[in-house]
Structures are given as C-alpha cells and as structure tokens.
Amino acid sequence: MNAHEYYRWAKFNWWNYKLFAIQLAKFKKARKILDVGCGNGLLLDELRIFFPNAIVVGLDSSKDMLIVKKQTNVILGKAECLPFKNDFFDIVTCMYSLHEFDLSAIDEIRRVLKTGGLLAVKEINCSAPKWALMHLKILLRMFFDEKTVKKHMDLYQTFHSPEKLIRFLEKSGFEVLKVNKSILDFSVFCRKC
C-alpha cells in the first residue's frame, strides 16, 4: 500500500480515529498504551489527547507508513515479535491492522498486556451489506489505484467474521467485554484473563 495515499485516506476518515479513542477514554486509569500496526499515527494522536498522562507508543512494520507524517514514540517492528517486556501495557489497540498480522501476534499482544489489561480491536466487517460495499468502493477509488481497491474489497470476503474473531480471542485467553458492530466494521474490547 502506498503510504502517502493511505495517509490521505486516513485524514479523510479522521473522525473514525476520534470515535475509537472516545470509546477507549473511559479506561482513563491507563498509563501505558500500545497501538500495533499504527500506520501514519492518527489513532496515536487521538489517544494522546484522551490520555494526556499516559505513555502512548506505536509500532508498525512499514517504515514508509511511519515516516509519511512526523511522529514521536513510534517503533519499526513486527506484531509477531513485540520488543517489550511481559505484562507492560494497560491497553493495546489494533485498528484495521489485525487482518494483516499472522494470528500468532495475538499471543504476543497478550504477553505484553498486564493481567486485566485491555485489547481493543477494530476491524472490517465481512458481513457488510452489498450496498455499503459499493459505497466504500466508490470512496476508495478517490484515494487508491484499482489494484489496491480490489485488494481491499477482497478482504471483505476473506476476513474473519466478528463471531469467529471473538471465539479466537476467547480461546487465546481474553474475556470479551463489549462488541460494537456497525455496517462496515466492528470493534471488540476484551480483557486479558
């Protein structure tokens, strides 16, 4: 994915990052937060507003995504091999990034989360209705080339359903606290048991 194109798309959807951060804001005691697959860092910016006293760190495997906008406290690295101590973070977020990871990343995320810590995942909804997908495709074409649009649209056919992801998270040692489904995406908030 072209990092500059993605940045334009992300800025167009700025409100989505804010809404996700607002949903997290009630966990106000959090002092250490990690965003895995942070991309251009728009969620990091929002998290820093809602958690002014927390250390907020981003990690992404693409240098291009990290440098397209000036960012602080970000690390080049892989979700499957996180360079952090066990039981370190109060919150870990994955916004539209989990579908790109090997699912072994879930064990890594669990390792770096404190017991009782929160994992918040936002992902595309593979049961989105056709009319919504058509609308999304038109929007994507304003920002990306046809190959990228196709790749993104194909994901909607192949990614886990919310139910499948929830079962996987539960099997991996998380207690699911809340699920928010919307037309094109869904969020799962779960706690490390």
Scanning 25-33, 78-86, 139-147, 172-180 for contacts with ligand SAM by CB under 6 A, the matching segment is 78-86
136 counts as binding ligand SAM under rule CB under 6 A: no
> Nearest 5°: CA angle at 40, between 77 and 167?
65
- What six digits make up the tokens of 40? 């251009």
Angle in degrees, CA 157, 159, 162, rounded to 5:
115
78 CB-near residues (< 8 Å, 6+ apart):
61
Which of these segments, 24-32, 36-44, 108-116, 131-139, binds ligand SAM (CB under 6 A)? 36-44
Q: Is 39 a residue that touches ligand SAM (CB under 6 A)?
A: yes
Angstrom distance (rounded) from CA 173 to CA 149: 35
Q: Which stretch binds ligand SAM (CB under 6 A): 96-104, 142-150, 168-176, 179-187?
A: 96-104
Task: Give the β-pairing of 113-124 and 185-192.
Answer: antiparallel
Q: Which of 61, 148, 172, 180 binds ligand SAM (CB under 6 A)?
A: 61
CB of 122 to ligand SAM, least distance (A): 8
CB of 107 to ligand SAM, least distance (A): 13
